[in-house]
Amino acid sequence: MKRFMKKLFTPLAKYYQIIKNAIAKITPGKNAWFGAAVGVFIAASLFWLLLIIQVAIPHGIIHSLIGLVAGLLIALLFGATLILIASILNRIPTLYHLAFGAAVLLLSLALLAVPLIPGTIAAILLVIITGSLGGAAIAVVKRGSLKNLTKPKRALFYICLSLSLALLIGGTTFLAAEGFSKDSPFNAGQLSAENVVLLDLPDPSAKGSFNVNYLTYGSGDDVKRTEFGEEADLTTPTVDGSKLVEGWTSLRSAYWGFGPNSLPLNGRVWYPEGEGPFPLVIIVHGNHLMEDYSDEGYAYLAEMLASRGFITVSVDQNFLNLSLVADLGLFSGLKKENDLRAWLLLEHLTAWRVWNEQESSPFYGSVDLHSISLIGHSRGGEAVAIAAAFNNLRYHPDDAELVFDYNFGIKSIVSIAPVDGQYLPGNKRLPLSNINYLVIHGSHDMDVISFQGARQYARIEFDIDQESSTGRSSFFKSGVYIHGANHGQFNSDWGRKDITGPPIQLFNLRNIMPAGEQQQIAKVIIGAFLEATLNEKSEYRLLFQDLRRGAHWLPDQIHLGKYYDSETVAIANFDEDIDLSTTTIPGGRIKGENLAAWREQDVPLKWGNLEDRAAYLSWDQEAASGMPRYRVILPEMESILTEESVIVFDLADAGMEEYFDEFKEPIDLTIELADASGNRANLPLSHFSLIQPQIEARLGKADFMNSLALSEPVYQSFEFLIADFMAINAELDPENLKEISFIFDRTPRGSLFLDRLAIRQAAN
């Protein structure tokens, strides 16, 4: 081996010496380096002097001289520090430089966790220090040079060895541990649950009355999975998606046996026994390792839905997922493929349309193509929204050569922990209208850190004068935020670890709820949503107006819900202009009194913003000259209110002012109604519920490891029957309602976001 290595490297050493001699001949001398140093310092100093002349001289000559000299001295000190660092590094052998640089790159790729950048840096340093100390100690012992060391060096050896072992044991124990429990926050909703009436309806998550059958369909020649290959019960044609994806490598084609121009339509079908026709539900997974198949992970949900009379399909899009091998170590992944995920869903629906009309098909005449729901998880959660938008278009928004002719009866979509904005049609956020929408997100999501689906929720609009492809004119949208839920457990195969590889060892998994509870929540929420939207059992809408009404179905967790429907008339959405005193409904006025802060702004999230404006209100009774109050004065309008009408609005704990940070208890306040004759009635916010304090998710195993905010504002919807105010003051005239006030008299200080103040014509 030595002879081989000598033979290999001797010619290289010769060429290295030739190159070194050539470089030496053109290397600048000492005089040149001296001149370069003086020149660069003078050039930089001139710009500093120019800054002093423009900025400091107007404030006096002494002020200017101090600024000039201080800047030059600080710059020289900085340069001296660099010299010191370089001198220290120069004493370190080149081999260690090489190993250190390579280790930093490898560890950065292996341990990178975006929400935990400080934790990633700490882990990298821990590994490098442990490896350096341990490797040095082993080398000294192996070479037998320990006995030749001086006493100080021998003492240093034992210190390094002990420290290396301590770091190895302590670091391994820390990283191997599941994490550490944190105290649970107040459950504000349960503090005022005495007014909540549980729904007297069948449990939407319970097994239904239908026997469930199972089959698969696919291309018939899948080389990886026989259930989509030779054992597929139904054969589907491949489709050409090459115009909708970039970055498909030959390695990906080699693994799957096909390219983007021949993508398969593969699906697992759970369906009820019977003639039908039955509503159709399509479920699509999100991004995960493509070699670790994701489509089987929704069987728990699909079997339940099929037993309740829904044909349920979990489709395969694993070939669009990431791969360490096919993506060349993640350096060449697929790009801009979320619209492809959406388009493939519509192609699946096209196959179902054929089967429904084909007499030889097992689904002949049994599919209600006017009653369809799409369910997507993660990237699939964005894909279902895109598919719903594409469904009503004639052309692809970015390429008119792609002609659409779908127009399926998609009544509703469910987005589970979705991303938002990975696909921008026409370079704008995806708009949606006249469709039922449900978004679900967990506070302990380690992948999609922020409640991104709340953006799509905010963008959904209802125009009851314009029919959708379903022909319906009544729609609703709901958002559900679950304390303790993570990203992966909505898919039984993804589990508790939302991040692939070693970075998951940095995360605190102890506070994640059990998988069974998380999936039970999904079954209840999604089951009720589909009953309401596909089977038109509107009584299940009551669950989304107040999730506590389903407490007998749901695990004991904090569930924050928001709700809005097409029967609601907006008073103030805060998106219409930049005037703080105006309302969305023409002619209305807003007044703020004795508030510490009052503005309209976008709502911050852990990652980015909600991209939806709201009123930010903060108050401090001790500092105010009078009782803080926020008054919304209604214009004269046609009588739309009755005793059965409901005042609805969304509130979220803002937690933005530093001096409010220590205030973690739920917020209460007073809601007051006044009519044109001056009759008034008020109720505490806690008549419905208190405001939930922001839910902190300490994702890192240690607090210093978190690089993002620990919490974010999450809206809760509040609803107040006008009849309840009339029970306080029978003289209150709802037909002449003039003012809705928020009086901050029950909690001494706090801050909140207010959005979507509206009137629902009548209680649903």
- Count CA atoms within 13 Å of residue 585 on its CB side: 19
Residue 275 lies in a domain: yes
Other C-beta atoms closer than 10 Å to the C-beta of 355 total 18
Q: How far apart are CA 227 and CA 244, in angstroms?
A: 27
Phi (first) and psi of residue 621, to 5 degrees: -60, -35
- With 0-12 / 13-18 / 19 or more C-beta atoms within 10 angstroms meaning exposed / middle / buried, residue 129 is middle
Q: How far apart are CA 153 and CA 133, in angstroms?
A: 13
The pLDDT of residue 50 is above 80:
no
Residue 427 lies in a domain: yes
Range of the domain at 63: 2-90
Same domain, 555 and 572: no
Same domain, 126 and 25: no
Same domain, 123 and 30: no
Q: Is 220 left (phi over 0), alpha (psi -120 to 50) or beta?
A: left
Residue 264 lies in a domain: yes
Domain endpoint, select from 36, 57, 90: 90
Contact 544, 555 (CB under 8 A): no
Same domain, 342 and 469: yes
Residue 340 lies in a domain: yes
- pLDDT, tens digit, 9 for 90 and up, residues 455-499: 999 999 998 655 544 444 689 999 999 999 999 999 999 988 888
Q: Which residues contact 700 (CB under 8 A, 6 or more apart)?
A: 115, 116, 118, 119, 506, 507, 508, 706
- pLDDT, tens digit, 9 for 90 and up, residues 229-260: 999 999 999 999 999 998 898 888 999 999 99
Same domain, 227 and 169: no
Of the candidates 339, 351, 352, 341, the residue with the CA atom closest to the CA atom of residue 311: 352
Which helix (H) or strand (E) segment is 621 a member of?
A: none
Same domain, 580 and 533: no
Residue 589 lies in a domain: yes
Residue 182 lies in a domain: no
Long-range interactions of 329-337: CB distance < 8 A, separation 24+: 329/109, 330/109, 332/247, 332/249, 333/247, 334/245, 334/246, 334/247, 334/248, 335/245, 335/246, 335/247, 336/244, 336/245, 336/246, 336/423, 337/244, 337/245, 337/246
- What is the three-state SS of 191-247? HHHHHCCCCCCCCCCCCCCCCEEEEEEECCCCCCCCCCCCCCCEECCCECCHHHCEC
Lowest model confidence (mean pLDDT) among 5-9, 289-293, 304-308, 320-324: 5-9
Per-residue pLDDT band for 113 (boundaries 50, 70, 90) equals confident
Number of folded domains in the chain? 4
Q: How far apart are CA 467 and CA 300, in angstroms?
A: 34
- pLDDT, tens digit, 9 for 90 and up, residues 353-381: 999 999 999 999 999 999 999 999 999 99
- pLDDT, tens digit, 9 for 90 and up, residues 722-741: 999 999 999 999 888 999 99
Domain endpoint, select from 565, 581, 596: 565
Q: What is the pLDDT of residue 259?
A: 94
Same domain, 574 and 557: no
- pLDDT, tens digit, 9 for 90 and up, residues 517-540: 999 999 999 999 999 999 999 999
- Average pLDDT of the residues in 328-337: 73
Amino acid (1-letter code) at residue 374: L
Same domain, 229 and 349: yes
Same domain, 579 and 701: yes
- pLDDT, tens digit, 9 for 90 and up, residues 376-391: 999 999 999 999 999 9
Strand, helix or coil for residue 279: strand
Same domain, 362 and 434: yes
Same domain, 81 and 100: no
Same domain, 300 and 335: yes
The full length of the chain comes to 764
Q: Give the global pTM.
A: 0.87
Of the candidates 740, 482, 746, 764, the residue with the CA atom closest to the CA atom of residue 632: 740
Residue 181 lies in a domain: no
Kindly report the average pLDDT of the chain as a whole number.
87
Q: What is the CATH number of the domain that holds 706?
A: 2.60.120.430
- How is residue 514 annotated by DSSP? P
Residue 440 lies in a domain: yes
Domain endpoint, select from 148, 176, 204: 176
